[in-house]
Amino acid sequence: MKTLLIIDVQNDFMPSGSLPVPNGDEIVPVINKIQGKFDLVIGTQDWHPKDHISFASNHEGKSNFDVIKLHGQPQTLWPNHCVQGTDGAEFHPDLNTEKFEAIFRKGTDKTIDSYSAFYDNGHLKSTGLAGYLKEKGTSQLYVCGLAADICVYFSMIDALNEGFDCYFIDDTSKALDTKEFKTLKKEMITKGIQIVTSESL
């Protein structure tokens, strides 16, 4: 089964949001256009409690994008974003969600950050997505969304480790740090992720 996984196309990651991904809104019409090419469409949402440990506002004396040690790992401190129940956590209003068969929410545990759609950053807690996709018979997993260098990237790495054939749809994703993402794309190819475009689907 050919599945489309749409990562975090939420208001707070749009140009007017609290953690804007450059030109993040440009991918919305392209994602809408390609959904009909897939047997299964799944969405994810960052869904943080307001006291989430990754928010700089919850660390006295720290600023947005500072890096601290958390559970023995480096942790970037982010602006408050995608707080549960807020408008910023909602999908972009123009995103067509009618074909979404399920929505998986991540980052719900206030004590640990969760970039991947499959696991938190410490691989301590599963979202259940891998089991869901396997039960549905997914073999080919196409991934897109925001941000390409963070949540999309880590979702694809976990997808590979879960045994899925993984494809990255380049023109339906935008990176927070475009320079860093050029390096990550080379790494993705080395790991076996195939990079495609919406026109080639």
Between CA 73 and CA 181 the distance in angstroms is 21
**Which residue in 12, 82, 106, 166 is the catalytic one?**
106
**Which residue in 82, 144, 151, 166 is the catalytic one?**
151
Residues 40 and 58: beta-carbon distance below 8 Å = no
Q: Which amino acid is at 113?
A: D
Between CA 56 and CA 78 the distance in angstroms is 6
**Which residue in 8, 46, 113, 149 is the catalytic one?**
8
Active site residue 8: yes
SS (H, E, C) 58-120: HCCCCCCCCEEEECCEEEECECCCCECCCHHHCECCCCCCCCEEEEEEECCCCCCCCCCCCEC
Active site residue 106: yes
Catalytic positions are 8, 106, 151
